[in-house]
Structure 1
């Protein structure tokens, strides 16, 4: 697949050739980052809009105790901080989880593109609303779902997102996230995460080997988690 950012936004609006040219122009010069590199840190002045073209990243906060809470995973095609420039400083950090290709679009370039291309603006706003819906789903998981429900719910979310951007064939996907990162996203310990993955393997719901996740029984995962994909909002076409 080519530019995953464009392909993702195409799900929310019908683009003209001019729209595609504009998007290709602002994403033409990505930079490659290694794993565990901060793209921006809490307290920094807000910078450009970040777009992940390849690899994985995540939003996080570090508590005074030194513990970390991950609040979102950014997959290829995801953009972040469309309106953060209106604030004085960043209230969270963003770090790469894997080697990643990231493009930084200046505020001026983004504002001009959205003003000149209303369909791009519409797609960007819908994408942001989906991100907000995902955050709400995570809050429900942390507040009300049991440990195994949380893990199963996150697996299905990441899997469906991977299918929609062409990172999965519908049965398996690369899951390049160490258990320590998953634990920080789910409010659990790595040891607890490992036990739950073992339970899900024994149930016949998943297989996980060398960073490749295979969903062997989606019905079991759906039953365990109560997963409903409504917050990810189906593509408009």
Structure 2
């Protein structure tokens, strides 16, 4: 596990054009994970929708931006946008802690939602990206509808989307809790145990110091919601 129970990946944001004329990724929310971007190259923006309304935040090399669960977000690629993505609760995003902003009729039908999100071979490296673009385009359509509702009715208009998102993921919550307990919670508890030991005058854990390294990504070029992902997955639970 990476320090603090976080997950990291490199992201090359899609540069194909969505139905609204902007190139970029698929708008979605996370139900339990905070997400951070560290921009390593290029230019772009992230569009967000929350109780604060719609906003667009500029991104360029050196920018660090993060947002909490429930923030609808959509990356726009204006010129070779590349990021390092840092996710809280490693394992949860991979286990489905995201809901795309499909139109309401799709969100209301779990089978339709599953069909709309599916990618050939799970989006493995080398997969034809057309299905990812179709998925993105459908989410952009729903995103536009959601923005219009918020502009008309205010932040309360997001409540129906939040309820639909929860309904789609409710059956997975027990598995998510296990991943959190084995990951981020366990990492925090180790720190607590170390602080207790230090307070008691016991520095024994310092003798177990170790260095871990990954020479490169575990996987490169997987189709993600926002672009091509290079992922890092340490094998040891203590890394």
TM-score (norm 1): 0.26
Structure showing the higher strand proportion among its residues: 2
Higher relative contact order (CA 8 A, sep 6+): 2
The normalised TM-score by structure 2 is 0.26
